């Protein structure tokens, strides 16, 4: 219950009494399980968010198949947000935003080895001429994450502006993969310039 409230209202704007009421328990019960708000935040990161993020990096395809690697990461990001619909709002509100109360906790749990390997694989594919040279290997993963998270986090607001907009899994998957995979493709100009002697 706490995590859904945090995603909707923000951690700083959610009281223990609100958490207790949503869970249909007493405030004393919440304090019994979590002595402090910090311990509750640690539990949310350790037990809910970090496992989802680890799942995004598992089952990587063949290292030389960067397009497959990217496709797999996007699909696993979408799987994570499908299992945890609260994640996009919480991610933008409490991890991405400056002053977010989960930012420092998540920074300690970034899988640096996988992120570095991903960057290296993208750069190698570009050096071989297999990926668009204008794509930044350092920004690609962050861009993919933003393409998955932002539409879901703002879906309610965007639907108020344009009621015909529907952000569903199938449509978002087509959209994100369409943008990312087309963006990774080597532009015709770059292909023709490589062929010259």
pLDDT tens, 47-61? 999 999 999 987 555
Q: How far apart are CA 197 and CA 32, in angstroms?
A: 73
Q: How far apart are CA 121 and CA 128, in angstroms?
A: 11
The percent of residues in the chain predicted with pLDDT above 70, rounded, is 93
Residues 52 and 83 sit within 8 Å (Cβ to Cβ): yes
- At 165 the pLDDT is 83
Q: Where are the domains of the chain?
A: 2-190
CB burial of residue 194 (10 Å; 0-12, 13-18, 19+): exposed
Residue 129's pLDDT band (cuts 50, 70, 90): very high
Q: How far apart are CA 62 and CA 173, in angstroms?
A: 22
- At 192 the pLDDT is 54
Q: What homologous superfamily is domain 2-190 in, according to CATH?
A: Tetracycline Repressor, domain 2 (1.10.357.10)
pLDDT tens, 56-91? 987 555 567 899 999 999 999 999 999 999 999 999
pLDDT tens, 16-39? 899 999 889 998 998 888 888 899
Query: Which stretch of DSSP H or E encloses residue 56?
Result: helix 50-57
């Amino acid at each position: 219950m706490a995590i859904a409230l945090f995603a909707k209202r923000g951690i700083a704007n959610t009281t223990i009494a609100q958490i207790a009421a949503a869970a249909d328990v007493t405030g004393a019960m919440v304090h019994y399980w979590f002595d402090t708000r910090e311990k509750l935040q640690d539990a949310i990161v350790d037990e809910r968010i970090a496992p989802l993020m680890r799942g995004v990096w598992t089952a990587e395809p063949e290292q030389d198949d960067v397009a497959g690697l990217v496709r797999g990461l996007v699909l696993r990001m979408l799987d994570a947000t499908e299992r945890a619909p609260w994640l996009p709002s919480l991610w933008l509100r409490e991890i991405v935003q400056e002053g977010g109360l989960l930012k420092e906790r998540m920074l300690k749990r970034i899988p640096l080895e996988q992120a570095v390997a991903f960057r290296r694989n993208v750069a190698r594919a570009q050096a071989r001429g297999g990926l668009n040279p204008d794509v930044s290997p350092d920004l690609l993963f962050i861009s993919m994450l933003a393409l998955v998270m932002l539409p879901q986090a703002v879906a309610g607001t965007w639907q108020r502006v344009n009621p015909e907009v529907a952000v569903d899994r199938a449509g978002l998957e087509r959209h994100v993969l369409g943008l990312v995979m087309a963006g990774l493709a080597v532009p015709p100009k770059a292909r023709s310039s490589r062929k010259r002697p």
